[in-house]
Chain A
Amino acid sequence: MARAAPHDKANSLALVLAPFGRLMRLIELPMAWLQRRAGLTGVAAVFLAPNMLIFGVFVLLPLAINVLYSFTGGPAIFLENRTYVGLDQYRTLLDCENYLEPLTCRQDAFWRAVHNTGIFVVAQVSALVVTSLITALVLNREIRARGFWRAVFFFPVLLSPVVVALIWKWILQREGLLNAVMIYFGAERTLWLAEPGWAMFWAVFVSVWAHLGFYTLILLAGLQAIPRDLYEAAEMDGTRPLRVFRRITLPLLWPNLIVVIVLALIKAVQIFDEVFVLTRGGPGSSTLFITQYIYQTGFADRIRNLGLASSASIAMASVLVVLTLIQLSVSAWREREAAR
């Protein structure tokens, strides 16, 4: 009996895979013919072809024509119907008397979005790094039911951004749970998502809530790689916990921490989904971020401006390229360190 269970599992798996197997056998004939004609290299090319075709059409081609689009203007969708305007779109985008004052810019919405994104990135990334570091340190202690606690902090990572936003929208609404608690304690009712300052606060809070578990997991893996005997030696010397943290944990965790910071930066610059459902960029434009600006300029506004949207996305891409290069050099440095 003990053996029957895995056998059954294999059987049901085979049942699911049966049509798949038939399909594979069907492909086998033309592939064998091709192998005789073109040899191993030809076969390799065929294996690579579907992926590279889709990849080329939907990633590489768009990457290339994005640059071309940013040099064109007019309402037409297709490149051949668009007029070449040179650097005009970039000039429109960057035309500003004072970059610190979005209202003096020609594209005030873009600069408002840049400002908001800047504030968001600084607040969100620092909050995210601090909270995920603390959570990882706590989960790395000898606690009971560690798997359960890890799940508690991790599960929002798997929720869709729409669900995350709706969970919090429901709590923050006028008649919501938070206002009920506030009134119970004698405070006043606040329209959390209708006041600019609070809307930004909750945008940061909700996105930290949603992504905290992901970075905790990376840091936890790093903490568990630190040799135990270092801590044992410190304990024998009677070293204070804060000193152990500063002298052992932090230096050895530093590479992981940098990865977390850069990854969080890359994600934060592109923030869109959960904040869009939570606030729609409002009130006014107080939680309008760059990705939403691109989305609105290119798709949602009544007059679509694909050229302007392209140039804005290239401006954002250049920031991301810098961040990615930093990340790549950090991971190369990490590998060198590990090899030593």
Chain B
Amino acid sequence: MNGVGAFLTRRRGGRGWHFTDVLAFAWLAAGLFLMFGPAVWLTLSSFKTPAALVEFPPTLLPLDTRTATVEGHDKPLPLYAVTAEDGGERVLAQVRRIGTVAQMVDPQAPGEIVKVPIDQRAPLREMRFATENYREPFQQFDFLTFLRNSVFVTVVATIITLLVNSMAAFALSKYQFRGRGAVLAIILATLMVPLSVIMVPLYVVVNQLNLMNTLWGVILPTVATPTGVFLLRQYMLTIPDELIEAARMDHASEWKIYWRIILPLSLPALAVLAIFSVMWRWNDFLWPLIVLSRKELYTLQIGLSAFSGELNVQWHYVLAMTVVSMIPVVVIFAFLQRFITSGIATTGFK
């Protein structure tokens, strides 16, 4: 027995297992379960019918009762496996249930009603993905509008952020002028000013500018990010000044230098900022919550929060729309993980 144990625990390089290996493995396993598990559970649940969602204890996979259309009944009837007194089993469709007795019919012989005690029948179930959870919120509720608002805010805010921040970063990295240090210091100092500190006066300013209850009221206050200016400036400092001098010799205007030389050379930094900006704006919550109070202007996040805060939460829709709102982030992560992680590791910002 000892030999088997030694064989199973033998490792490459002839070293034995150390207790830290076991602990590390346990940590990873627990991490996989605790980090991935909840998201997977939400996604699986989003494909369940309302009836399957209220079932307790819940099933792992989305199961739905099989139904059959029976002559003489308009709606499809749920099918059950019924155990008869003699131990035989047959499939019956339930017409209605009165107390502890179910009235059932044989789908093959729909004329005769059989009375069956409910503890002698078990629903026949199959796996079915309730895709209507995804279709109906777009048709019956405003989720299409929410989605459109979210996309508009994210795209427009990101474009403006990239343009405005890169222009400022260019000025701060490639020109010598009086007050440059002061401007830089102000930007750096406000790097740490969070929304929660200025939301009251910001609300007043946005109100004064008649931007309340507009998507521009969500977009504009967030586009001049100090993080973006800082990140782009640090990158542009590494672009050699000789390039600019050479372009000036060729009588290129400063604007041309900016968009034909500086912008293309800064593409890696611009990409990082674009990814961050998309994630910030797509996931934004507190500020849109303050600015938008009309339902047709809600972004996806605000709409989800409002839907999940109702007295009778329609979980089948909320879960499906949560999955929809996760899609862009998951796609970005799948393709651009390296950009994001290296961006965080080098700047320390999120």
Contacting residues, chain A, for B341 (C-beta < 8 A): 150, 154, 217
Q: A157-B350, A272-B196 are in contact. Are A167 and B164 (CB under 8 A)?
A: no
Q: Which of A96-104, A193-201, A226-234, A293-301 contacts B (4 or more CB under 8 A)?
A: A293-301
- Tell me the minimal C-beta distance from A56 to chain B in angstroms: 9
Contacting residues, chain B, for A77 (C-beta < 8 A): 204, 207
B253, A316: Cβ atoms closer than 8 Å = no
Q: A63-B201, A135-B31 are in contact. Are A160 and B285 (CB under 8 A)?
A: yes
Asked whether any CB of chain B lies closer than 8 Å to the CB of A90, the reply is no
Contact with B along A131-170 (1 / 0, CB 8 A): 0001101100101000101111111111111110011111
Quick one: closest B residue to A168, CB to CB?
B38
Asked whether any CB of chain B lies closer than 8 Å to the CB of A57, the reply is yes
For chain B, the bracket of interface size reads: 35 or more
Contacting residues, chain B, for A329 (C-beta < 8 A): none
Asked whether any CB of chain B lies closer than 8 Å to the CB of A333, the reply is no
B350, A241: Cβ atoms closer than 8 Å = no
Asked whether any CB of chain A lies closer than 8 Å to the CB of B130, the reply is no
A58, B57: Cβ atoms closer than 8 Å = no
A152, B36: Cβ atoms closer than 8 Å = yes
Q: Which of B74-82, B112-120, B182-190 contacts A (4 or more CB under 8 A)?
A: B182-190
Quick one: closest A residue to B204, CB to CB?
A77
Q: How far is the CA of A180 from the CA of B305 in the complex (A)?
A: 25
Asked whether any CB of chain A lies closer than 8 Å to the CB of B56, the reply is yes
B290, A44: Cβ atoms closer than 8 Å = no
Count of residues in A whose CB is under 8 Å from the partner chain: 98
The listed residue with most B CB atoms (<10 A of its CB), out of A156, A158, A221, A263, is A158
Q: How far is the CA of A137 from the CA of B290 in the complex (A)?
A: 41
Partner of B194, one of A27, A61, A270, A277: A270
Q: How far is the CA of A290 from the CA of B325 in the complex (A)?
A: 28
Q: A79-B204, A171-B38 are in contact. Are A31 and B253 (CB under 8 A)?
A: yes
Contacting residues, chain B, for A220 (C-beta < 8 A): 345
B282, A27: Cβ atoms closer than 8 Å = no
B175, A44: Cβ atoms closer than 8 Å = yes
Partner of B31, one of A58, A59, A149: A149
Q: How far is the CA of A259 from the CA of B347 in the complex (A)?
A: 12
B38, A299: Cβ atoms closer than 8 Å = no
A299, B183: Cβ atoms closer than 8 Å = no
Asked whether any CB of chain A lies closer than 8 Å to the CB of B109, the reply is no
Contacting residues, chain A, for B63 (C-beta < 8 A): none
Interface residues of B (CB under 8 A from A): 18, 20, 24, 27-28, 31-32, 34-36, 38-39, 41-42, 45, 54, 56-58, 163-165, 167-168, 170-172, 175, 177, 183, 186-187, 190, 192-194, 196-209, 220-224, 226, 229, 253-256, 258-259, 279, 282-283, 285-286, 289-290, 301, 304-305, 308-309, 315, 318-319, 322, 325-326, 329-330, 332-333, 337, 340-341, 344-345, 348, 350
10 closest cross-chain pairs (CB), A and B? A160-B283, A51-B168, A62-B201, A47-B171, A31-B255, A58-B221, A44-B175, A180-B57, A54-B224, A55-B224
